[in-house]
Amino acid sequence: MSELLWNLASFIIALGILVAVHEFGHFWVARRCGVIVEKFSIGFGKSLWSKKGKDGTEYNISMIPLGGYVKMLDERVDDVPEEQKERAFNNRPLWQRSAIVAAGPIANFLFAVFACWLAFMIGVTALKPVVGQVEDGSIFSKAGITAGVELKAISGIQTSDWEAVSMAIVSHIGDDSMTVTYSDENNIGVEVTKRLDLSQWNFDPEKDSPLLSLGFLPYRPALTLDVANVSSNSAAEKSGLLVGDRLVSVNGNALTKWQEMVDVIQGNPSKAVDLVISREGQTVDLVLIPDSKEIADGKVIGFAGVSPVYQEWPEGYRYEKQYGPIVAFEKALAKTGDIIDLTLTMTKKLFTGDVALNNLSGPISIAKGAGTTAEYGLVSFLGFLALISVNLGIINLLPLPVLDGGHLLFFAIEGITRKPVSERVQEIGYKVGTAMIMSLMAIALFNDFMRL
């Protein structure tokens, strides 16, 4: 229940910020163009808070936090007094109307730059993308790539950390091939580029990690048998395990590595497991009954809620991604550009069928993402906001009549024909656009519920 509330709160905060940014873009440019803004609302439905500003605009927060709107004076909607007609949206020059409509998505892109800039200013520890394991017979293995190499670029996209690697791999969904450039610590200064055949690549973003789907894992320091963390109210805590304990044996078998413990726990859901541990020089016997959880394909495994101590990272494998204001801004521009490129690529593949519709995500998945990133800290949450903000901006630019992109399409036609698109055509367009948006939302919600 607490996880649900956390995800919901994170979702409301994230969406509230992004909607406010989007609508403020419309609002700010409308005011600069002399248009009277009657209402600025975050959310729909019943009003929770409302205030009339000195500028005459009613500022409102409503109950349903799934969007917002800016209500401008418009003769097509209400009767407008003669003295205010010049300040009605529909009577402004075409370029001003276009600027007002485009300002919402542009604000989302600018906010993504700001969020990335702030994240780079705060700083975060990153890991060099050094390959730790390569599975025999995998796509990576067939290309001749071995453990120990550092990934430098994927299809020309620089990969300074694992986040960049994952984004670059995901962008190749539906492609026949991609190139991987890497360096080997045994050949300093030499970079090798290999072509990967993706014709047999089966990648489900909901079930697999991008890395594992290609048959490799990041380098991680070896695990010890010492306990680093015990989750609250977990099976491990109930058994009496404490941070600092060292595992000695499980079910009478001496342990040599942590994975042996994992295999026994996962293979015995809700069944008693005998543990022998070393605590402050004393041997202690414990009984652990793993909790059970269902994973993909209905399989049930056990889990204990305990994690081990890692050995120290080799020097140079970890580094701080923290920059001054100017460099951080340059990095933020580049990062936002990468997100825009990835989003455009995936949107195109969605419409061409290279990406299946079951990959669409709705508010439930977004809420989970918001909650998870918020748990990881402010920098991760800022990265999530940047990603969703870019997505919101691009979606709103799609040429569907109910979206900003649809309005811009009508304005483009008006600019060519020198006369506005007829209200009847616009009305038909709005109905078709609404039907398409509702259909996509229904698919996204269905996908969300199927992932629960």
pLDDT digits (tens, 9 = 90+) for 297-315: 677 888 899 999 988 888 8
Q: What is the pLDDT of residue 153?
A: 92
Q: What is the pLDDT of residue 342?
A: 83
**What average pLDDT does this structure show over 379-386?**
86
Q: What is the pLDDT of residue 186?
A: 67
Rounded to an integer, what distance in angstroms lies between the CA atom of residue 378 and that of residue 385?
10
Cα–Cα distances (Å) from 63 to 49, 60, 251, in that order, read: 9, 10, 55
pLDDT at 370 > cutoff 90: no
- Report strand pairing: 124-127 vs 131-134: unpaired
Quick check: 397 and 105 in contact, CB under 8 A? yes
Reported confidence tier of residue 127, pLDDT bands at 50, 70, 90 = confident
| CATH fold for the domain made of 127-219+317-383 | Pdz3 Domain (2.30.42)
- Sequence-separated (6 or more) residues with CB below 8 Å from residue 343: 390, 391, 394
Burial class (CB in 10 A: 0-12, 13-18, 19+), 26: buried
Q: What is the pLDDT of residue 355?
A: 61
Tell me how far apart the terminal alpha carbons of the chain are, to the nearest angstrom: 14
Rounded to an integer, what distance in angstroms lies between the CA atom of residue 42 and that of residue 221?
47
Provide the whole-model pTM: 0.78
pLDDT at 188 > cutoff 70: no
Q: Is 34 helix (H, G, I), strand (E, B) or coil?
A: coil
pLDDT at 338 > cutoff 60: yes
Reported confidence tier of residue 206, pLDDT bands at 50, 70, 90 = low
**What average pLDDT does this structure show over 160-185?**
86
pLDDT at 363 > cutoff 70: no
Residues of the chain with CATH 2.30.42.10: 127-219+317-383, 223-310
**What average pLDDT does this structure show over 20-35?**
94
Q: What is the pLDDT of residue 362?
A: 47
- Cα radius of gyration (the chain): 27
Closest to 383 in 3D by CA, of 163, 162, 207: 163
Closest to 229 in 3D by CA, of 308, 284, 311, 313: 308
**What average pLDDT does this structure show over 98-109?**
96
Reported confidence tier of residue 378, pLDDT bands at 50, 70, 90 = confident
Q: Is 134 helix (H, G, I), strand (E, B) or coil?
A: strand
pLDDT at 7 > cutoff 50: yes
Catalytic residues: 23
Rounded to an integer, what distance in angstroms lies between the CA atom of residue 259 and that of residue 275?
15
In this structure, what are the phi and psi dihedrals at residue 30, rounded to the nearest 5 degrees?
A: -60, -45
For domain 223-310, the question of CATH label 1.10.287.3510 is answered with no
Cα–Cα distances (Å) from 227 to 103, 132, 278, 280, in that order, read: 53, 23, 11, 13
For the chain, percent of residues with pLDDT exceeding 90: 38
Reported confidence tier of residue 423, pLDDT bands at 50, 70, 90 = confident
Rounded to an integer, what distance in angstroms lies between the CA atom of residue 189 and that of residue 184?
8
pLDDT at 294 > cutoff 80: no
